[in-house]
Amino acid sequence: MRRHALTAAAVCLLIAAGCQGRGGDPGASPSSVDPSTDASTFPSTADAVTTTTIEATTGSSGAPAAPPPRPGAPPTATGRPSGSRPPALGLEQLTPVEAGTAIATRAGDNSVYITEQAGVIRGLRDGRLDPAPVLDLTDLVLSGGERGLLGLAFSADGATLYAYWTAKQPLGEITIASFPMGPTAADRTGQQVLITVPHAKYGNHNGGILMRGPDGFLYAGIGDGGSGGDPDGNGQNPGTLLGTIIRIDPTKPADGRPYGIPPGNPFAAGGGRPEVWAYGLRNPWRISFDPASATLWTADVGQNAFEEINRVPAATAGVNYGWRNREGLHPYKGGDRPAGAVDPVAELNHDAGFCSITGGYVYRGKAIPGLVGRYVFADYCVEGVRTLSQQDGAWVVEKSTAAASSVRTFGVDPAGELLLIDNDGLKRIVPR
């Protein structure tokens, strides 16, 4: 087991992305202990020409140094970046949060909604956390380690709340359900389970992202099923929902399902599960859309060597992200690169201390002009918030001055400003 500044026990007791990464350990406990279609037509993006693990510190001078290469790893691009550095950033404390896992907003509502791992959704209204839950699912949610209430989204009109959790019964089953949403609370009696994914064998790699895409459909990122090294081969099997991003239409039941399959899903005509939008993922934590550039960003937690960040056109179906044949840009246990697989635009080397990526968002707010267009993310095992941007043909990671610790998740507030949850609770990223 790879050791970091945080002990393995501490990491796995705190959900976030950190424990998502610990699923790489070959000794991951099974649940009994813990109560393809080729995508060769995928168009490469014109600016995804080079990948780099360079990391600079905001405000430093000269060319940043790359972390030491992992023994036997092929070289990564080290082109000297140019252009403006990200601005100095700070964090504004908003409220303490009990093991927060997701952040969402709702149309026509200035509140911020937060999920707690144990199974409660709460609302931050006028700067104060409402003591009355928006929704309490603690009797249904199996929480602990990487399991729990993990995802939250709302319909376009705000009238429906969608939640993603691991269930107590059947053990560990990933559940996505909808609830009618009132002015301040969801109606538990109106629960409708949309989709379930069996996940009893191992307790790790549950994924957990849930969001409405720019096309109006519901997207969910699901882990590969757990243990270490994807022993069941789910990553390269679009015939399962494990190790995928799925896309469904929760408003149009069809074919006996409580949801429909949107036009354009790559496997709707056969050869895989019709819900699957993309596959080849280990444990996505998390995905986000950038409507301004029409791109989908996916942060995938690595096994033992590399964390990765992927960027693809949002409307492209059938993307194969490469796991378990690939970890980042590198073969995993001698695996061949699947035909048509998409390489990440950036990878983070565990030799530099990274261990478990927490994906974020491309900043499109107004408060920090110098941050616009940069992808903002973190890693659970290293301090700080980082940005990713393309400079002189290389994707460059830079450490910002925002000193967050053990970042669990990111979100966007109603004004378009970035939020995060770390060990101290919910915070807003602000100029410093």
CATH value at residue 340? 2.120.10.30
Give the pLDDT score at 385.
Answer: 97
Specify which residues 349 forms β-bridges with.
306
Token pair belonging to 133: 């839950």
CA angle 157, 158, 162 (to 5 degrees): 120
24 in any annotated domain: yes
Q: What burial letters (b/e) apply to 358-372, b meaning 16+ CB within 10 Å?
A: bbbbbbbbeebeebe
Give the pLDDT score at 85.
Answer: 81
Instruction: Enumerate residue ranges in the chain where pLDDT < 70.
Output: 1-84
3-state SS, residue 248: strand
Number of folded domains in the chain? 1
Give the pLDDT score at 393.
Answer: 87
Specify the pTM: 0.86
223 in any annotated domain: yes
Residue 15, number of CB atoms within 10 A of its CB: 29
16 in any annotated domain: yes
If 0-12 CB within 10 Å is exposed, 13-18 middle and 19+ buried, where does residue 26 land? Answer: exposed
Give the pLDDT score at 358.
Answer: 98
281 in any annotated domain: yes
Q: Between the CA of residue 233 and those of 100, 322, 409, what are the distances in Å?
A: 31, 12, 28
Give the pLDDT score at 392.
Answer: 87
Domain that holds residue 230: 8-46+91-388+405-431
Amino acid at 24: G
Q: Between the CA of residue 253 and those of 180, 216, 256, 264, 365, what are the distances in Å?
A: 16, 15, 7, 17, 36
58 in any annotated domain: no
CA angle 254, 255, 260 (to 5 degrees): 35
Give the pLDDT score at 184.
Answer: 96
Give the pLDDT score at 80.
Answer: 34
Give the pLDDT score at 326.
Answer: 98
Summarize the chain as % helix, strand, coil (round to 5).
5, 35, 60
